[in-house]
Amino acid sequence: MARVNPAEIARDTTRFMANIDLHSHTTCSDGELSPAELMARAVEKGVTTLAITDHDTVDAFHDLPEVPSILRLVPGIEFSTTWNTTGIHVLGLDIDPASRAITEGVAFQSGARERRAGEIGRRLEKQGIENAFEGASRYALGGQVGRPHFARHLVETGRVDSMEAAFKRYLGDGKAGDVRESWASLAQVVTWIRDAGGIAVLAHPLAYKLTRTKLKRLLNDFIDAGGEGMEVVSGQQNEQQTRSLGQLCREMGLLGSCGSDFHAPGQGWKELGAVAPLPERVVPVWERFRQSPG
Ligand code: MN
Ligand code: MN
Ligand code: MN
């Protein structure tokens, strides 16, 4: 039997559990754990470098609880935008969350959400649902009002008997309350990220269900706008998909990123750190961080 070198085994296990996870959410957006709980879980899972990338907000970095000494925290954000008619997510990594550019970006995106919520409210009123916006606001607990809050209002006022029915009749595709967000453009979000000293990374490229040709077109537009990286490894991705994205990443001359897109415990493969390492010859995005973790 061939002798096994223990160092070899140790190196091999890191192939399944990365210690760098650059995509995660907290209660500041739609995650289930507070920033402190998330960081504690990262340490527990052996993650040594973690980026918190909440949707269109950097609240986690305001009043940030103490960062465990063995964890390197990378300030990040996940901006929503559209490319043609497709909803796209762009990560800003290694940003300065207190910068003017990020402050402006967050305010714009929050305004976009508010305008949308107001419009949904007006449309539902036209359907005879009184005080729809005020009703929905009560369930947002001071946060952003979204479709689930309208759905809850419809259920609580007896309009429909389930959240599902609320979407089916009032809020889902093609219904009165189906209002598109007016997010900032792709070029705009990339500019905010760059102006904040960060690196713009296209999040979960396979989530948009684009053909390879269209995905390349998106990446070309993204690069023209100043985008520099793409997520090569994302939660819920098989090995072959990762290899193929690695190839695309090299082809396009982009930096590669990896992140679980963790939202809550118990969501299977989307566990903190549960991401494969970057394929060979993909240049890791963190080599460009102001303070390289590696
Ligand atoms: Mn989310
Ligand atoms: Mn996303
Ligand atoms: Mn995400």
| CATH code for the domain of 130 | 1.10.150.650
Residue 294 lies in a domain: no
Q: Which residue has the tokens 């997520």?
A: 231
Residue 201 lies in a domain: yes
Ligand nearest to the CA of 206: 2
Residue 154 sits in the same domain as residue 103: no
CA of 82 to the centre of ligand 1 (A): 16
pLDDT at position 18 is: 61
Alpha carbon 212 to chain centroid, angstroms = 22
pLDDT at position 185 is: 96
CA of 242 to the centre of ligand 2 (A): 17
Residue 166 sits in the same domain as residue 74: no
* Domain finish residue from 150, 171, 192: 171
What three-state secondary structure class fits 202? strand
Structure token pair of residue 191: 């500019």
For 62-96, the pLDDT digits (tens) are 989 999 999 999 999 999 999 998 999 999 999 99
- How far, CA to CA in Å, does 254 sit from each of 117, 228, 232? 36, 6, 10
pLDDT at position 79 is: 97
Residue 27 sits in the same domain as residue 158: no
- How far, CA to CA in Å, does 217 sit from each of 41, 105, 210? 38, 25, 10
Residue 270 sits in the same domain as residue 210: yes
Q: How far apart are CA 79 and CA 57, in angstroms?
A: 8
Q: pLDDT tens, position by position, for the chain (294 residues)?
A: 444 444 444 444 344 456 999 999 999 988 999 999 999 999 999 999 999 999 999 999 998 999 999 999 999 999 999 999 899 999 999 999 999 999 999 999 999 989 999 999 999 999 999 999 999 999 987 777 888 899 999 999 999 999 999 999 999 989 999 988 789 999 999 999 999 999 999 999 999 999 999 999 999 999 999 999 999 999 888 999 999 999 999 999 999 999 999 999 988 668 898 788 899 999 999 999 987 655
* Domain finish residue from 144, 171, 198: 171
Q: What is the dihedral of CA 254, 235, 57, 294, to 10 degrees?
A: -60
CA of 53 to the centre of ligand 3 (A): 7
pLDDT at position 13 is: 39
Domain that holds residue 217: 6-107+182-288
Residue 74 sits in the same domain as residue 198: yes
Residue 148 lies in a domain: yes
Q: What single DSSP character describes residue 159?
A: S
Q: What single DSSP character describes residue 231?
A: E
Residue 64 lies in a domain: yes
Residue 25 sits in the same domain as residue 101: yes
CA of 79 to the centre of ligand 2 (A): 8
pLDDT at position 2 is: 44
Number of domains comprising the chain = 2
CA of 170 to the centre of ligand 1 (A): 22
* Domain finish residue from 171, 199, 217: 171
Residue 224 sits in the same domain as residue 254: yes
Residue 283 sits in the same domain as residue 192: yes
Residues with CB under 5 A from ligand 2 (ion): 89, 203
CA of 5 to the centre of ligand 3 (A): 38
Residue 197 sits in the same domain as residue 226: yes
Residue 32 sits in the same domain as residue 135: no
pLDDT at position 32 is: 92
CATH code of residue 195 = 3.20.20.140
Residue 82 sits in the same domain as residue 209: yes
pLDDT at position 269 is: 67
Residue 176 lies in a domain: no
Residue 83 sits in the same domain as residue 141: no
Residue 141 lies in a domain: yes
Q: pTM for this structure?
A: 0.85
Residue 293 lies in a domain: no
Residues with CB under 5 A from ligand 3 (ion): 78, 261
CA of 203 to the centre of ligand 3 (A): 8
CA of 157 to the centre of ligand 3 (A): 32
pLDDT at position 290 is: 85
CA of 22 to the centre of ligand 2 (A): 12
